[in-house]
Amino acid sequence: MMRILAFCCERGPGEAIDLAGEKRMRYPADLTLIQVPCAGRVDVAHLLKAFREGADAVVLVGCLEGNCHHIYGNIEGRKKVDRAKQILDEVGLGGQRLEMFHVASNQPFRIAELAAEMASRVERLGPNPLAVKE
């Protein structure tokens, strides 16, 4: 089963998720959303642990650049994603399994789009080879 884990800022992206729910928009059932106070608070270790726990893909969803409630949270989040991608490439898992997206509170459609994009990537890349077989 394909699993995509998305860490989402509770501000803009979180509001977009709520709006998507109100509009009954659909996204893949294997997408798990975890709201965090800020994209900048998600550490490289959190991103890598998700893969160790069996996620096939991981997404960090932050506010639009220049529109972060915490000023630089989305910029810090981008740096962490870039570093984690580098590590994933070095260990052979592949940085393509990790991505950062920026979503505004009035863009609920972006949640479905990013989920579909990551699902497509996982289909192309195959399952996480670190995932424990049940």
The model's pTM is 0.92
The band of 112, judged by pLDDT with boundaries at 50, 70 and 90, is: confident
Whole-number pLDDT of residue 37: 94
Residue with tokens 């509170």: 105
Contacts of 84 (CB under 8 A, 6+ apart): 44, 47, 48, 95, 98
pLDDT (tens digit, 9 = 90+) per residue, 23-46?
888 877 788 999 999 999 999 999
**Topology classification of domain 4-123:** Rossmann fold (3.40.50)
Residue 2 scores a pLDDT above 80 = no
Q: What is the largest CA-CA distance in the chain?
A: 44
Phi-psi region of 71 (alpha: psi -120 to 50; beta: other; left: phi over 0): left
Whole-number pLDDT of residue 1: 61
Whole-number pLDDT of residue 45: 98
Residue 134 scores a pLDDT above 60 = no
Whole-number pLDDT of residue 133: 60
pLDDT (tens digit, 9 = 90+) per residue, 42-92?
999 999 999 999 999 999 999 998 888 888 899 999 999 999 999 999 999
Residue 20 scores a pLDDT above 70 = yes
Domain ranges of the chain: 4-123
